Amino acid sequence: MGMLSFLSQEIAIDLGTANTIIIHNDKVVVDEPSIVAVDKNSGKLIAIGEKARQMHGKTHENIKTVRPLRDGVIADFNSAEQMIRGMIKMINHRPRVFSPSLKMVIAIPSGSTEVEVRAVRDSSEHAGGRDVFMIYEPMAAAIGIGIDVEAPEGSMVVDIGGGTTEIAVIALGGIVCNKSIRIAGDGFTADIQAYMRHQHNIKIGERTAEDVKINVGSAVPDIDNPPPDFMVRGPNLMTAMPIEIPISYQEISHCLDKSISKIETAILGVLEQTPPELYADIVTRGIYLAGGGALLRGLDKRFTDKISIPFRVAEDPLHAVARGTGIALKNVDKFSFLMR
């Protein structure tokens, strides 16, 4: 069996702006930051994933760290290919034999242009994919949440990833109406960096801003069990002397307000295009939140108050897209909405 199972390998990939997750045999086998470190002179790969993330923002002139995906789409073709290849290699800890027929299903943003889809397909084929299928992210998220996407009922999914927020209404195995906006986790991180600069005169890097978001991020200024203030250390912009400032979740809810309002507007825009019969289903069933952004404290409550439809956070929202992509991999012949 050993050799045979190795001959037809099947993997599902959630190629994300922030993290890439690979599923093999129903298990998450790789869950790493989407980042690579390369030698500037030779272009050789130094590290990928978590190891490369630790170098991010700390490199000297011979190393550069690259995030191959920007806004959910491939921005740097070479690094994307190296990243996919390297992450697939993390699965087979066998010597360099490449599986002759690698079947892949890959989740892509619903707003992808033909050029962007082609870039994902080319990168995957270069990395060893023989049989490559694509699935739109909100569709994958819905499947991963456990929604019966082929049913005649309407379901709505809001998937807030790193680079994009995907909003879609799904029924009868297809996307009825959708919108993909480039305001998501990375945007929240950038908001926090800008806020610290303007409000507190302190310069912080992407990783620190990310830590602030995780520790004291909030969508509403009043939550039941508030997190303790988070201490941020950095140089004063004027003097370059070290300062340390406690940051409260109220401040972060204030600084993320604009971006979250834009997501609200986009959700309302999709609801506006929704056929009335499906709209009725959505009001009954609620709207599902997936992606890392769904973990922002109080986001479900804020959306529910604003839009008057109950919002529910998917269980394990970070892996919803990957799980759905894994289920699609098992049903390649059955699901008609997979793209070749």
pLDDT at residue 301 in the model = 96
Three-state secondary structure call for residue 281: helix
Structure confidence by residue, pLDDT tens digits, 89-100 = 888 655 455 555
pLDDT at 1: 44
Beta-bridge partners for 180: 166
Q: Which residue type, as a one-letter code, is found at position 131? A: D
Concatenated DSSP letters of 204-264: --HHHHHHHHHHH-BSSS--SSPPPPEEEEEEBTTT--EEEEEE-HHHHHHHHHHHHHHHH
Which residue ranges of the chain lie beneath pLDDT 50?
A: 1, 4, 95
- Domain 185-255 sits in CATH at 3.90.640.10
Give the pLDDT score at 247.
Answer: 97
Of 16, 90, 27, the C-alpha closest to 326 is 27
Architecture of domain 2-140+321-330: 2-Layer Sandwich (3.30)
Contact criterion met (CB below 8 Å) for 9 and 89? no
Instruction: Please state, in angstroms and rounded to a whole number, the distance separating the CA atoms of residues 6 and 10.
Output: 9
Pairing between β-strand 155-160 and β-strand 165-171 as defined by DSSP bridges: antiparallel
CA distance 47 to 61: 16
Residue type, 128: G
Q: How far is CA 144 from the centre of its chain?
A: 14
Domain 147-183+259-314 falls in which CATH fold? Nucleotidyltransferase; domain 5 (3.30.420)
Q: Where are the domains of the chain?
A: 2-140+321-330, 147-183+259-314, 185-255
SS3 283: helix
User: What pTM did the predictor assign?
Assistant: 0.91
Q: CB-based contacts of 78: which residues, under 8 Å, 6+ apart?
A: 43
CA 16/CA 32 separation, integer angstroms: 10
Residue 99 to residues 27, 104, 114, 127, 286, Cα–Cα distance (Å): 19, 12, 28, 11, 43
**Is the distance from CB of 321 to CB of 20 less than 8 angstroms?**
no
Q: d(Cα 50, Cα 330) in Å, to the nearest integer?
A: 29
Domain 147-183+259-314 in the same topology as domain 2-140+321-330: yes
What does R_g of the chain's alpha carbons equal in angstroms? 21
Report pLDDT digits (tens) over 122-151: 888 888 888 899 999 999 999 999 999 999
